Amino acid sequence: MKLAKSAAFYLLVAVIVLIAVFPFYYAVITSLKSGTALFQIDYWPTSFSLNNYVAVFTTGTFPRNLLNSLFVSASVVVISLFLGVTAAYALARIKFAGRSALMLAILSVSMFPQQAVLAGLFELVRTFGLYNSPFALIFSYMIFTLPFTVWVLTTFVRDLPVEIEEAAIVDGCTQWSAFWRIVIPYIRGPLITTTIILSLQFFNMVTLIYVVTGGGPLGTTLTLSLKVFQDGFLSFRVSTAAAIGLAMFALNVVFSLAYIRVLRQGQTTE
């Protein structure tokens, strides 16, 4: 009986791993195909060709797409963290009427699906004259990232005893100095975690980017995620889309490892 339970457990684990890993594995195989081999269904690579990867990095708009993605992602993360930290500190430390209702409203905004606000968002972007510009992406994406950032960071700021800040002020620190020297180091871990989440979310976003930019003239505002969508579903260059997707995956892994290393260094220095 015990052996049967163990076998069933490992069988279930194997099925879950297969379902999770197979799409990634098939993307790798697809990225190595070229020509008519793309239309053949093979579950084991029969030929290896790096032409798709060479084409991605040497021809087309991949460098511009990468630059757009990095610029917008970095801008959104920096602005969201700055506004989110200051707003979270105010919500956690200042008592005012309607604070709970405001927090509930912030949480409610985070729960709205993108598709529900695309029409109104498009009108705002067009009214402000931001359509087909990277700033349309920054403005639009912050609508979804800022409420999430404020909600998450407020919880961690509340956990910090206010007596520590009061002691620092008694010792001569200003309110701003106590904020940067005490609160920021305390929430360093949540800040880095939030940075990773926001960056990964942007690299996987397609619908919002397509609505507020459409890729722009000659792909000037085309991001990597939208490039994968256009190549894979509009132009049917599936192998090229798979190669770009794997390049995005490698980029996300590098960013995540870098963030984790910074987080561990911060923990060891405390």
Q: For 137-156, how does the pLDDT look when each residue is reduced to its tens digit (9 = 90+)?
A: 788 888 888 888 888 888 88
Residues 36 and 88 in one domain: no
Residues 171 and 221 in one domain: yes
The candidate with the shortest Cα–Cα distance to 140, out of 209, 67, 214, 215, is 209
Cβ-based neighbour number of residue 249 at 10 Å: 14
Residues 173 and 105 in one domain: yes
Residue 13: inside a domain: yes
Residue 147: inside a domain: yes
pLDDT at 152: 85
Q: 34 lies in which domain range?
A: 2-49
- What does the alpha-carbon distance between residue 146 and residue 68 come to, in Å, rounded to a whole number? 20
Residues 229 and 150 in one domain: yes
Residue 151: inside a domain: yes
- What does the alpha-carbon distance between residue 231 and residue 23 come to, in Å, rounded to a whole number? 18
Residues 113 and 68 in one domain: yes
Residues 209 and 250 in one domain: yes
Q: How confident is the model at residue 131 (pLDDT cuts 50, 70, 90)?
A: confident
Place of tokens 């920054």: 138
Contact 112, 178 (CB under 8 A): no
Residue 55: inside a domain: no
User: What's the structural domain count of the chain?
Assistant: 2
Residues 142 and 27 in one domain: no
Residues 27 and 136 in one domain: no
Residues 75 and 24 in one domain: no
**Sign of dihedral through CA atoms 78, 83, 89, 92?**
negative
Q: How confident is the model at residue 222 (pLDDT cuts 50, 70, 90)?
A: low
Average pLDDT, stretch 113-128? 77
Structure-token pair, residue 59: 């021809």
Residue 54: inside a domain: no
In this predicted structure, the answer to whether residue 70 has a pLDDT above a threshold of 70 is: yes
Residues 196 and 262 in one domain: yes
DSSP state letters, 122-168? HHHHHHTT-TTSHHHHHHHHHHHHHHHHHHHHHHHHHHS-HHHHHHH
- What does the alpha-carbon distance between residue 140 and residue 122 come to, in Å, rounded to a whole number? 9
Burial of residue 241 (number of CB atoms within 10 Å: 0-12, 13-18, 19+): buried
Q: What is the CATH number of the domain that holds 151?
A: 1.10.3720.10
Residues 9 and 108 in one domain: no
Computed over every residue of the chain, the mean pLDDT equals 76
